[in-house]
């Protein structure tokens, strides 16, 4: 099986009401939504592991500190976002995933 091809397995999960409501309001299927979130987490964990191989340890505290700094920045335009995603595609799997 090559990358991108996958089999699926049915699992049952329980979510707090507020989280379940958010997922139900999202676009697409609940399974697709959760799979996307988990893939993003898998990519982030992979990035942390690669950085650690080179001596850069990124902690949850580091991530939170960066999120707080970014939250204080003015929002970027859709045009700037598109340019950023185009730049990131050179490092990832074609969908900007390397940045997630």
DSSP string, 25-76: HSSS-HHHHHHHHHHHHHHHHHHHHHHHHTT----HHHHHHHHHHHHTSPPP
Domain that holds residue 73: 59-100
Q: Are 67 and 100 members of one domain? A: yes
Asked, for residue 23, whether it belongs to a domain, the answer is: no
Q: Are residues 53 and 37 in the same domain?
A: yes
69 plus 87 within the same structural domain = yes
Does 36 share its domain with 73? no
**Are the CB atoms for 52 and 44 separated by under 8 Å?**
no
In this structure, is residue 79 part of a structural domain? yes
Instruction: Say if residues 92 and 98 touch (Cβ distance below 8 Å).
Output: yes
89 within a domain of the structure (yes/no): yes
Give the pLDDT of the chain (100 residues) as one tens digit per residue. 555 667 889 999 999 999 988 888 887 788 888 999 999 999 999 999 999 999 999 999 999 999 999 999 999 999 999 999 999 888 876 444 444 4
Q: Is 35 helix (H, G, I), strand (E, B) or coil?
A: helix
Same domain as 79, residue 97: yes
The tally of domains found in the chain comes to 2
The answer to whether residue 99 sits within a structural domain is: yes
């Amino acid at each position: 099986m090559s990358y991108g091809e996958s089999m699926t397995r049915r699992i049952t999960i329980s979510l707090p009401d507020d989280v379940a409501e958010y997922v139900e309001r999202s676009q697409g299927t609940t399974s697709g939504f959760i799979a996307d979130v988990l893939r993003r987490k898998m990519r982030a964990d992979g990035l942390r592991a690669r950085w650690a191989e080179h001596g850069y340890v990124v902690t949850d505290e580091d991530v939170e500190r960066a999120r707080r700094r970014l939250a204080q920045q003015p929002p970027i335009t859709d045009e700037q976002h598109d340019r950023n995603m185009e730049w990131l595609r050179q490092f990832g799997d074609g969908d900007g995933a390397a940045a997630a």
